Structure 1
Amino acid sequence: MKKFLYYIPLALMAGSCNKQLDLVNPNVPTITVYWRDAADAMAGTTAIYNSLIQDGTYMRMYPALNDGRGDDFYGDSPWGDLVQVGSFVIPTTSGPIAWVWGAHYQLVWRSNQVLENVPKITMDEALKTRLLGQAHFLRGLAYFNLACMYKIVPVITAPPASSTEFYPATAKEDVLWKQITDDFAAAKEMLPVTYAGLSGPDAGQTGRATRGAAAGMLGKAYLYRKNWQEAANEFQKIINGDYGTYSLMADYRDNFKEINENNAESLFEVQFGQPDQVGGTVMNYGGEPNANWKQVSSTGRTYAMDGYGYSDFLPSRWIYNEYKKEKTTDGKSDPRLLATIASYEPDDNSTQVYGRAWPHAQTAIYPRKYTHDGLNWPGNDDQENSGINYRVLRFADVLLMHAEALNELNRTAEAYPFIQRVRTRAKLPDLATVRPGMTQVQMRDQLAHERALEFAIESIRINDIIRWGWLYDAGKLAELKTHDNDFNTWKAGKEYLPIPQGELDTNPNLSPNPAN
């Protein structure tokens, strides 16, 4: 089976009981009796991954609320939250905003339980180290996502010892990012390069965090905080093969299909599977854990075009035109265009969608990335049962982030080869020939262009826009407004998701963020 099962021990969802009620379900193990042996440690760690396949994380809302805020995507839905988030006017009472917050803190909660309890278990030390490394990685990923989406949040590193710890205070931004880098750094030292060839219950399992994944996310966290040298150091080791062998897939679209998953380009991806692969009868939106949960993604249905899905979002005309700017070495359009966007392109032999004749106006454009267009139709889009894994970190990102770090270190000339590896896969001409001798500023703009084409509709663009400071640069902001009308309603601070109002009302120590 291509994916390991995201098993859900109910103990990991247990909270503190009200002694006045004193109700104990004899069929549900509590935390006080759960953490006994290696089997508990293994199941408890696997349960952390389950938080990645719920609606508030990668099942639907994490991609949707990030993609919707970029200039490559905009809301086209009767569901007001999805349109409002893209226009930067989402209210603090939004349900999806709360789901994202809750699912990520569930991820933190489960990771903290493993980190608190597994060290006390007598078990194989090598397996214990791997499990703790995964908990560090997944907690780091949760906080990385929270930092990017909400800017400032509480940092919780252990289960509450008493009710006095039920209301954590908002941490300073530097404290939050230090926790992120500390977790990824710890994970890097504890995780294996691969699970192939190991002895133990995790032997050969695909989908668990690896040393390469931890190093890649550590480098990304350094890059986001402008620690250029530290970022370059991590990326160079990955590129050198110190943490395993990674390479670009020859077919760009192999990164977004239900086949060829966990491939040579993927450092970490979230494992989804259709019910006929991994079972399940109940949608895995979240809530109380259920042994019958599916392990499906709803992104394929959410992004699919009219007639084949909800069509809740559309690509911007700007990103479509950006793909058309430069011809390939054989005189064609960038092949990433039709892997990312469904459009009527008779010159590129694209006049069909889902195996049928183009049903829309010839000027219409729709998302194709992460949908089942051309892959498995008729199939599962109408039931929201997508099994397409979500790619969290690809080797192409490592290459372009490394180029960016080198450019910021005034080593612009050294950045060219790493960019070209990505361009060569897209059959684009040698950048050193078509744009030789770029200055640092020119290279920044070039990298922004390259990243837009490579990572459109991958939950990355808004993070790039924020970290580059474009929203606070009058010229860049004006440019963004030409890309996507949603930026006309942006106001300072609103690039982040607001802290959910329910959390602010419940926790007296929680501070509003700039979006509140």
Structure 2
Amino acid sequence: MKKIIITTTVLIGLLFTSSCDNELVQSNPNSLTTEQYWKTESDAQAGVNSIYAMSYKDGLWARWIYFRLDLTSDEGYSNSPWIELADWTRFNYINYNFWEGNVVTWRDTYKAIFRCNQVIANVPNISFQNEDDKKKIIAQAKFLRAMHYYYAAVLWENIPIVLEPSSPTDLPVQKNVTEVWAQIETDLNEAFIDLPPQWGADQTGRPDKGAAKAFLAKTYMQQRKWPEAKLALEYLITGAGARYSLVSNYRDNFTDVNENNSESVFEIQFGDQRKGGTGEGQSAAVSSNRAQFFAPRSIGWSDGQARMWIVDAFKEERNKDNDLDVRLRYTLFYPGLFADFGDKTYNKNWEWGNEAWFRKGSRDYYRDNEDYFSQVNYRLIRYADILLRYAEVLNETGNTADAYQYVDMVRARVNLEKLAIVHPEIGIDKAKFLERLKIERVLELTGESVRWEDLKRWGDLNTQTSVDKIALRDPDFNNFVVGKNHRLPIPQVEVENNPNLDQHLEY
């Protein structure tokens, strides 16, 4: 299925003009003011496309957000020679203005929100031949605003909520994270109404009703609103949006061979057709840098890698044919990969020594190195994640017995026995089921940017006892301070420039 790559970037409202020469006619379209723009349907479409283009910025899905979501969790870490970069994956936050660790992700998050707000505020005033097309554009902007606020809430928690087009002199007021979650819920519920059940093949990559419900479920789960999360997930599993299925080949979720498949609920669309940087120029790349930064030594920059305990977790159980779980093969590069799976087809340049590295999203299946221009889409939400989440909410709402079948659907794809047969000791014990589900999520979703929010949702970062258990498998958590490091410090430059914004007290 063809994927949409958003290549249009418009600088709407970012450039303000002031001149005593009122007769000057602006002929450069990049210098249009907000008043001159927002007149036609094409303006509206370009405006919403500019929001998608934010995925290709280095503070977000092009590069640095993975360091916060994957490497800060117990799945990953950094041995980068760039000490400060590595320190920000092991809770050694000294300079709160560290660009790569904090400021650029904050900047690009609010830049994306600014673009969303421009669309939401201005598109209603544009005449459309088809009003449904207008509604879909506004709904996309609300979905994307909710998505960016979701990750901001996970990372920083108490932040400003900006819902109108802003100006450089604005001083937005900081809100409690509970208010942030409430705004995300509002945006997603409103977006759901006007998003289509499914886009046509020429619009693949835009969020539909299923994507809105999936993010709504995630939002409810982070607040432990289990009944609400259950209803949202049922739309995707048994309700009107139940059109998803697991693909037979697990690895098809992590290459460019079978993107936007039946398992994809929402994914970031990447391409390699442009070789520019991550700025706003015409040659700006629409690629992912993740593979370049997470590749094994001698292949890429090797700034991020995986913990070896994950390999051990995979090897605790063999499948029905007494073989290793095939997900291990396609999740990690690790010592023994060749011996375990008897496959010598990998390029000889892909060497990883005695360390483990994330393999998902790598391009070893057709090339012998990585670069800044990976075209492999990033699956932000897959159906396997939805199934495991549904099992979690069933368990939390007293339906543990019913939860097994959804874990078993994920296990069956890789030929594993039913969970109740392998672990009869769990029974319908809620706590034991959750502990096992934590492992099931690692086996299925390692390196997919969900582990940090999982740890927060489960309360595993809330007590010294639970953090000490994490530190046994990830020694970086010996630096973790309970009540502090569950969220990032707000960039200090933002605090100093906005009297309505306070640094978190623990920092």
With the length of structure 1 as denominator, give the TM-score of the two structures: 0.92
Whether contact under 8 Å (2:296, 2:351) holds in the other structure is no
Give the partner amino acid of 1:211. Answer: K
Q: Which amino acid aligns with 1:320?
A: V
The equivalent of 2:147 in structure 1 is: 141
| Percent of matched pairs sharing the same residue | 34
Superposed CA deviations along residues 408-429 of structure 1, whole A, max 9, x for unmatched, are 1111111000111111112211
Q: Pick the aligned partner of 2:90 from 79, 87, 90.
A: 87
What SS is found at the alignment partner of 1:444?
helix
Contact 1:193 1:243 in 2 (8 A): yes
Q: Note the aligned Cα RMSD (angstroms).
A: 2.1
Please give the residue correspondences for 1:18-57 in structure 2 after superposition, counting only pairs within 5 Å.
26-27=27-28, 28=30, 29-57=32-60
Secondary structure, counterpart of 1:371 in structure 2: coil
Aligned residues: 497
Work out which of the residue numbers 412, 417, 422 in structure 1 matches 2:405.
417
Alignment of 1:160-171 (within 5 A): 160=166, 166-171=170-175
Q: Is the 8 A contact 1:11 1:31 kept in 2?
A: no
2:205 maps to which residue? 207
Give the Cα separation in 1 of the matches to 2:359 and 2:137.
36
SS at match of 2:380: strand
Compared with structure 1, are the counterparts of its residues 69 and 163 closer, same or farther at alpha carbon in structure 2 (3 Å cutoff)? closer
The one-letter amino acid paired with 2:308 is: R
- 1:387 aligned residue: 375
Q: SS where residue 393 of structure 1 aligns?
A: strand
2: distance between equivalents of 1:84 and 1:455? 25
Q: 1:41 to 1:355 in 2, by over 3 A?
A: same
2:108 aligned with 1:122: no
1:463 aligns with 2:453: yes
SS of 2:260 mapped into structure 1:
coil
Partner of 1:476: 466
TM-score computed with the length of structure 2 as normaliser: 0.93
Q: 1:507 aligns with which of 478, 492, 498?
A: 498
CA distance in 2, matches of 1:21, 1:149: 46
The superposition leaves residues 222-246 of structure 1 with CA deviations (integer Å, 9 ceiling, x where unpaired) of 1111110110111111012512511
Displacement of 1:311 in angstroms is 1.1
Given residue 138 of structure 1, which amino acid in structure 2 is its aligned partner?
Answer: L
Deviation of 1:347 (Å): 4.0
Distance in 1 between the 2:504 and 2:258 partners?
40
Rate the CA distance shift 1:332–1:168 in 2: closer, same or farther, 3 A.
same
**What does residue 199 of structure 1 align with?**
none
For residues 499 and 505 of structure 1, what CA distance do their matches in structure 2 show? 11
Deviation at 1:337?
0.9
Kept in 2: contact 1:169–1:511 (CA 8 A)? no
Which residue of structure 1 lines up, in the alignment, with residue 6 of structure 2?
6
- Say whether 1:67 aligns with 2:70: yes
Matched, 1:252 2:250: yes
CA distance in 1, matches of 2:495, 2:237: 43
Asked if the contact 2:39–2:126 (Cα under 8 Å) also holds between the matched residues in 1, the reply is: yes
Deviation at 1:82, TM superposition (A): 3.1
| Residues 508 and 39 of structure 1, relative CA distance in 2, 3 Å threshold | same
Aligned-partner residue type, residue 223 of structure 1:
M
Aligned to 2:235: 237
Residues 255-299 of structure 1: CA distance to partner in whole angstroms, max 9, x if unpaired?
A: 111110111111111110012xxxx23122x4xx11111111100
Match of 2:77, SS state, is strand
Q: Which residue of the partner structure matches residue 386 of structure 2?
A: 398
- Cα pair 2:253 2:259 within 8 Å, conserved: yes
The question of whether the paired residues in 2 share the 8 Å contact of 1:88 and 1:495 is answered with no
Q: Structure 2 matches for 1:101-500, cutoff 5 A?
A: 101-123=106-128, 124-160=130-166, 166-196=170-200, 204-240=202-238, 242-243=240-241, 245-275=243-273, 280-284=274-278, 286=279, 289-343=280-334, 344-350=336-342, 352=344, 354-356=346-348, 359-361=351-353, 363-373=354-364, 375-378=365-368, 381=370, 383-436=371-424, 437-492=427-482, 493-500=484-491
CA distance in 1, matches of 2:505, 2:416: 41
Q: Secondary structure at the match of 1:392?
A: strand
- Structure 2 counterpart of 1:391, which letter? R
Q: Is the 8 A contact 1:235 1:398 kept in 2?
A: yes
Is the 2:13–2:33 Cα contact (8 Å) retained in structure 1?
no
Q: Distance in 1 between matches of 2:463 and 2:45?
A: 49
The 1:21/1:105 distance shift into structure 2, 3 A limit, reads farther
Query: CA 1:95–1:396 in structure 2 vs 1: closer, same or farther (change >3 Å)?
Result: same
Give the aligned residue type for 2:417. P
Distance 1:98 1:24 in 2: 37
**Structure 1 CA distance for aligned equivalents of residues 452 and 25 of structure 2:** 46
Query: C-alpha deviations, 1:96-133, integer Å up to 9, x for none?
Result: 21110011111100000000000111102010111111
In structure 2, what is the Cα distance between the partners aligned to 1:407 and 1:359? 42
Which one-letter code corresponds to 2:91 in the other structure?
A: F
Cα gap change, 1:510 to 1:487, in 2 (>3 Å)? same
Query: Is the partner of 2:134 in helix, strand or coil?
Result: helix
Secondary structure of the residue aligned to 1:268 is strand
The question of whether the paired residues in 2 share the 8 Å contact of 1:58 and 1:297 is answered with yes
1:353 positional shift = 7.6
> Partner amino acid for 2:8?
I
CA gap of 1:17–1:466, structure 2 versus 1, over 3 A, is farther
Q: Deviations over 1:36-80 (max 9, x none)?
A: 011111111111100112111101111122111111111121223
Query: By how many angstroms is 1:370 displaced?
Result: 1.6
Give the match for residue 200 of structure 1. none
- Long gaps (5+) in structure 1: 197-202
Consecutive unaligned residues in structure 2, runs of 5 or more: none
Q: Relative to structure 1, is the Cα distance of residues 95 and 240 closer, same or farther in structure 2, using a 3 angstrom cutoff?
A: same
Q: Give, in whole Å, the separation in 1 of the partners of 2:11 and 2:295.
A: 37
Within 2, Cα distance between the matches of 1:184 and 1:7? 25
